[in-house]
């Protein structure tokens, strides 16, 4: 058989083909699912002589550590993010916990974004201190605040761009220059962006984290998470979190997520186009007080968005005066926007994120940070996760809701 020449492919092609090998026996093109928990091995064949901490250098032994189907997903994710390796976990939170608990220990200092995904914010500020980790939350869009927050024992900085729910951006190039100079690992949650919009490691970031449950899977039917980056860091995370935290991704979910990745680029392209049209329409609506979307010239970081984002994402947030009435209309009268948490599914979702609730349950903001949050969010933000429906139908549905 003639061997195919090696070629370099663009990301949209890698989403379909990275790590894909037809089955050697049946020549089936779709990836197989290896459901076996155990793999047999021959004693003394090097099964336990891993190269350093890299468990992927050993044969497949136990699905709690590595699994053929999960490994294929990891290879595809690493190719999409243009990184050396990736580690897949049961959920996005499991991936984030893997980063924190693998790279931090008692006496270390962690810097996070003052506004980010609620569960990650709570893990950092409410759980990590009980393990002896000092945590500082700052506005990572301001480099001077980051520099001021760095301590001699700072061992990790974690950002999120666009962040949830404000869609505030972090300048990854500027921040990575600071972290490299200080020899501090930088991780970035890029769930809202996906590799279609931004590839953080191309800007010098060390680790990129995703909730695969969201846009990357894209069908609302499988939980998963991943962290991609330098092989040395991924190997350390895999050898610690992958073995001891017990948050392994199931082979079936890995297979479902790979199926979702096959259509990631066309889905995101359509969602981003629709989101831009909807954001522009909302900005002109008389009941809408403000709209936040990186693609709008009104976004305070629109110039950064144009430099850092290939597209502007599938999430739109906005304010209205009467949030209670509008919430009830979304919940009871919308035909297309399902009133639900989560994002990134093929169907459109809407939810109200009340400022008062988030301040009580999650964010530990200073008075100055709280005032800044209120400038963006007011009493609450409606978050739209744009799906694959006709954009004209979505706008008509929103027009009915906002009547």
Q: How many C-beta atoms surround the C-beta of residue 356 within 10 A?
A: 9
Rg (CA), the chain: 22
Taking alpha carbons only, the member of 189, 172, 175, 179 closest to residue 226 is 189
Q: Using CA atoms of 156, 157, 158, 160 in order, give the dihedral in degrees to the nearest 10.
A: -160
Interatomic CA distance for residues 291 and 276, integer angstroms = 11
Range in 42-46, 281-285, 320-324 with the lowest mean pLDDT: 42-46
Whether the per-residue pLDDT at 245 is higher than 80: the answer is yes
Taking residues 170-188, report their average pLDDT.
98
Nearest to residue 80, comparing CAs of 9, 31, 17, 14?
14
If one looks up domain 264-401 in CATH, what number appears? 3.90.1150.10
Q: Where exactly are the structural domains of the chain? A: 11-262, 264-401
Is residue 168 a contact partner of residue 189, using CB atoms and an 8 Å limit? no
**What is the overall mean pLDDT for the chain?**
93
SS3 91: coil
Averaged pLDDT for residues 18-43: 83
pLDDT at 1: 47
Contacts of 271 (CB under 8 A, 6+ apart): 215, 314, 386, 387, 388
pLDDT for 52 beyond 60: no
pLDDT of residue 399: 98
Interval 345-359 mean pLDDT: 96
Asked if residue 228 has pLDDT above 90, the reply is yes
Q: Does domain 11-262 have CATH number 3.40.640.10?
A: yes
With a cut of 80, say whether residue 55 has pLDDT above it. Answer: no
pLDDT tens digits, residue range 293-327?
A: 999 999 999 999 999 999 999 999 999 999 999 99
Of 397, 383, 386, the closest CA to residue 273 belongs to 386
Angstrom distances, CA of residue 104 to CA of 17, 184, 205, 241: 35, 12, 18, 12
pLDDT exceeds cutoff 70 at 254: yes
pLDDT for the residue 21: 80
| 11-262 and 264-401 agree in CATH topology | no
């Amino acid at each position: 058989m003639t061997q195919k020449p090696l070629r370099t492919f663009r990301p949209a092609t890698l989403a379909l083909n990275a790590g894909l090998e037809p089955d050697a026996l049946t020549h089936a093109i779709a990836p197989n699912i290896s459901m076996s928990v155990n793999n047999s091995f021959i004693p003394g064949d090097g099964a336990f002589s891993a190269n350093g901490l890299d468990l992927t250098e050993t044969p497949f032994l136990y699905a709690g550590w590595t699994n053929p189907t999960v490994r294929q997903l990891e290879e595809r994710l690493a190719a999409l993010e243009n990184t050396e390796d990736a580690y897949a976990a049961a959920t996005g939170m499991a991936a984030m916990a893997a980063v924190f608990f693998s790279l931090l220990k008692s006496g270390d200092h962690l810097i996070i974004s003052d506004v980010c995904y609620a569960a990650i914010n709570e893990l950092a500020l409410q759980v990590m201190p009980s393990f002896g980790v000092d945590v500082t939350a700052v506005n990572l869009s301001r480099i001077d605040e980051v520099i001021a927050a760095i301590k001699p024992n700072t061992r990790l900085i974690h950002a999120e761009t666009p962040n949830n729910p404000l869609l505030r951006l972090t300048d990854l190039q500027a921040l990575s220059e600071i972290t490299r100079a200080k020899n501090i690992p930088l991780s970035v949650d890029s769930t809202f962006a996906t590799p279609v919009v931004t590839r953080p490691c191309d800007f010098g970031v060390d680790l990129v984290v995703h909730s695969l449950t969201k846009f990357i899977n894209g069908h609302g039917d499988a939980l998963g998470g991943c962290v991609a980056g330098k092989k040395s860091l991924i190997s350390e995370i895999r050898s610690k979190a992958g073995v001891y935290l017990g948050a392994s991704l199931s082979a079936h979910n890995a297979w479902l997520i790979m199926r979702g990745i096959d259509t990631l680029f066309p889905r995101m392209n359509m969602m981003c186009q629709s989101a831009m049209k909807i954001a522009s329409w909302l900005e002109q609506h008389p009941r809408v007080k403000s709209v936040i979307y990186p693609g709008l010239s009104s976004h305070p970081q629109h110039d950064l968005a144009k430099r850092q984002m290939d597209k502007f994402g599938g999430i739109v947030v906005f304010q209205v005066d009467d949030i209670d009435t509008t919430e009830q209309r979304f919940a009871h009268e919308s035909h297309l926007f399902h009133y639900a948490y989560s994002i990134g599914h093929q169907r459109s979702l809407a939810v109200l994120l009340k400022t008062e609730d988030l301040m009580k349950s999650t964010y530990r903001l200073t008075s100055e940070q709280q005032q800044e949050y209120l400038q963006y969010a007011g009493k609450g933000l409606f978050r739209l996760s744009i799906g694959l429906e006709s954009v004209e139908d979505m706008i008509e549905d929103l027009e009915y809701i906002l009547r």
